[in-house]
Structure 1
Amino acid sequence: MEYTLLTDGREGRIDLDGDLRAPLTAPVLGWVRRPYGWCRDDSCVPAAAVREAETDRGIDVMAFAALTGKIAVADREERVLALADAAPLPATGQAPDFTLDGRSLSDFRGRKVALVFWASWCGCRYDLPAWEERHQALEPYGLTVVSVACDRDPEQARPWQRDLTHPALIDAEGIVAERYGIVNVPTVVWVDEEGRIARPQDTQTATDLFRSMNGIDSEASWTALRRWVVDGDRGLTDAQIGEYLRVPTPEEQRARAHARLAVWLARRGRTEAAGRHLSEAAVLAPHDVAIRRGLMPLTGVDPFGDAYFALREELETRGIPVYRPLAAS
């Protein structure tokens, strides 16, 4: 049976039997079987490590995915298989590179970057003009604001990007949000001139429009940003970065694989099937508002309506924070 394969924003095809086994004679998830193991480019998984996943009938794709650093989720009824990285974000070190709308993070090497994750389904959309002002004020000092819309429908984000001069990108497939462990917006990540994370995921605002709801002081983030860019303040130590960096758990990544399936199904009008995977994602990562609220528009639910406030009440009742500002200044 032919399955649709979803991975890293790309769509492919893979032949699987009823037990989700793939033939040994064909490439599997981009890997090819050799006498000494399964290989892709210069990387190989030794034959001994794969042996338990192989039978005469083929290779267990779910188990093989785990051996190659992926988490796999399948919908047998819809014949779709989705992959997510098992560990997308390093504990410390380089910020994951990405390319959206023809722009890559590495394009800005040699400059400080403030990655601003936002969405049209969040009130933080009203902060974009203020982030533009920060970009214009600090651009001469070596800062580039790069805003990343976490909208699965690009047309929902584009009206809010008008008149912006800073790089304004759209993460329609959720790849960048996945790589940076974004569980809600607004979230800001600082990247230094060498491409290293200088401040991990931080709830920051550029206005106080919703301060009564989020409790975040926009002036504090502006002051910290100026110190980092203009005054040369190093900011957080390596130890603090390691402490505050939120590295996704396997459950979160499995939730993101379910979300990838849900998005694909919802775009094709298979709302009921999409809802099943959204429910699975909510169980695995109840705190991931970027999935639970962010995918509401795809299933015809108002992200500013009763469903959102019910979600907030659920999280507050369970003691799960909606916003996650860093404890460090």
Structure 2
Amino acid sequence: MFTAIEATGVRELDARPTPDGGLLAPLDRPLLGWTREPHGWCRGETCLPAFRAAAAETPQGVDVAAFAELVGRVAVIDQAERAVAFADGTGPLAGGLTAGHAPDFALDGVSLAGLRGRKVAIVFWASWCGCRYDLPAWQERHDELEPHGLTVLSVSLDRTADDARPWIAEAHAAARAPHPAVIDTEGLVAELYNVINVPTVVWVDEEGRIARPQDTQTATDLFRSMNGLDSAKSGEALRRWALDGDAGLDAEQVRRHLRVPTPEESRARAHARLAAWLAREGRAEAARRHLEAAAALAPHDVAIRRGLMPLTGEDPFGDAYFALREELERSGIPLYRPLPVKE
């Protein structure tokens, strides 16, 4: 048996290793939620035709990595640790991030679909980022604009819920109406929205379409000397959208600015998911190996590289973080990626 790690949880996978580093799973058992039928592999009403699935099948079983790719997933296998991690990939069965559709998610009793009919500002943050100090200010924006049909929904990228909870409690302490706050310990929402650093904000309109894609926004000027961001401008833009429906970008601009994940980013997320699980299991050396693989695939993904520092014994506010900043600056990779703000 192998351990399968997905954004939705951890379970056992009946599979056996192959000499080339792969895995073979039984043909007569479900795999990734898909079941083999006479006409192909099906999940609900969606089916992968048998002639396509044949590319992943052998008389001995189904190739786990090949099958994952066929159904829009990415698999990273560690035979030595008897574990395999999955992340969203590309292709027609992957769903994908598009301007016309904001991916739904349900976490900690909150769902994006449950907010349909309202404008939603999804605010990605983490306790390992200075943006943690902005959470009370985001709560103030929620209090101000909630009566006008806008909800601030905060998503913590912390890998341990206890790291995020005190900051959420502080933000909620003096709130008129506490904003919905979730903790994305498995990277599910960050993966859906291709979040590569925090703070990142995504606006979703009343019909579930992305009105403003991944944007670096702050709610205070506490770290303006480091990030160069003007919180007053982003706050005014949010008010304009809530009150007048002007998101500052038309549909074509939204499509152009939307950052869709690359195959390398998807594979990096699978390595990161495996690294996080291994670190929690106390397998530090193996975790570091997968973190290094993720960094090599997506060196710009600060959400992975900094976000996993607490689990690997590094200080996300210390020397490791400043070394990461210096590396990215030398490579010309921006830490912050703000979108144009309408004056």
- Of the three residues 22, 27, 34, the one matched with 2:25 is 22
2:158 alignment partner, SS class = coil
- Shift in Å at residue 23 of structure 1? 1.6
Range moving further from structure 2, 213-222 or 52-61: 52-61
Q: 1:78 maps to what in 2?
A: 81
Q: 1:7 maps to what in 2?
A: 6
Letter in 1 for 2:11: G
2:16 alignment partner, SS class = coil
Q: 1:54 maps to what in 2?
A: 57
5+ residue gaps, structure 2 = 173-177
Give the Cα separation in 2 of the matches to 1:62 and 1:79.
Answer: 14
Give the Cα separation in 1 of the matches to 2:262 and 2:14.
Answer: 29
Letter in 1 for 2:106: T
Q: 1:117 maps to what in 2?
A: 124
- Shift in Å at residue 139 of structure 1? 1.2
- Shift in Å at residue 137 of structure 1? 1.1
Q: Do the aligned residues in 2 keep the contact of 1:37 with 1:46 (CA within 8 Å)?
A: yes
Give the Cα separation in 2 of the matches to 1:32 and 1:129.
Answer: 46
- Shift in Å at residue 223 of structure 1? 1.1
Give the Cα separation in 1 of the matches to 2:253 and 2:58.
Answer: 47
Give the Cα separation in 2 of the matches to 1:199 and 1:146.
Answer: 15
Give the Cα separation in 2 of the matches to 1:134 and 1:27.
Answer: 46
> For 1:1-329, what aligned pairs fall within 5 Å after superposition?
2-19=1-18, 20-87=23-90, 89-163=96-170, 164=172, 165-329=178-342
Range moving further from structure 2, 223-232 or 277-286: 223-232
Q: Do the aligned residues in 2 keep the contact of 1:89 with 1:180 (CA within 8 Å)?
A: no
- Shift in Å at residue 328 of structure 1? 4.9
- Shift in Å at residue 161 of structure 1? 0.8
**Stretches (4+) displaced over 4 A:** none
CA-to-aligned-CA distance 1:128-153 (integer Å, 9 cap, x gap):
11111111111111111111111001
Instruction: Report the aligned-residue RMSD.
Output: 1.2
Q: Identity over the aligned pairs, expressed in percent?
A: 66
Question: TM-score when scaled to structure 1?
Answer: 0.97
Give the Cα separation in 2 of the matches to 1:278 and 1:289.
Answer: 12
1:145 alignment partner, SS class = strand
Give the Cα separation in 1 of the matches to 2:102 and 2:151.
Answer: 15
Letter in 2 for 1:141: H
CA-to-aligned-CA distance 1:186-224 (integer Å, 9 cap, x gap):
000111111111100000001111011111111110111
- Shift in Å at residue 13 of structure 1? 1.6
Q: Do the aligned residues in 2 keep the contact of 1:24 with 1:33 (CA within 8 Å)?
A: yes
- Shift in Å at residue 31 of structure 1? 1.9
Q: Do the aligned residues in 2 keep the contact of 1:89 with 1:181 (CA within 8 Å)?
A: no
Q: Do the aligned residues in 1 keep the contact of 2:99 with 2:211 (CA within 8 Å)?
A: no
Give the Cα separation in 2 of the matches to 1:89 and 1:219.
Answer: 33
2:84 alignment partner, SS class = strand
Range moving further from structure 2, 103-112 or 121-130: 103-112
Give the Cα separation in 1 of the matches to 2:276 and 2:263.
Answer: 20
Question: TM-score when scaled to structure 2?
Answer: 0.93
Give the Cα separation in 1 of the matches to 2:222 and 2:300.
Answer: 23
Change beyond 3 A, Cα 1:197–1:296? same
Give the Cα separation in 2 of the matches to 1:30 and 1:137.
Answer: 43
- Shift in Å at residue 231 of structure 1? 2.6
5+ residue gaps, structure 1 = none
Range moving further from structure 2, 109-118 or 307-316: 109-118
Range moving further from structure 2, 237-246 or 138-147: 138-147
CA-to-aligned-CA distance 1:168-195 (integer Å, 9 cap, x gap):
2111111001001100000001111111
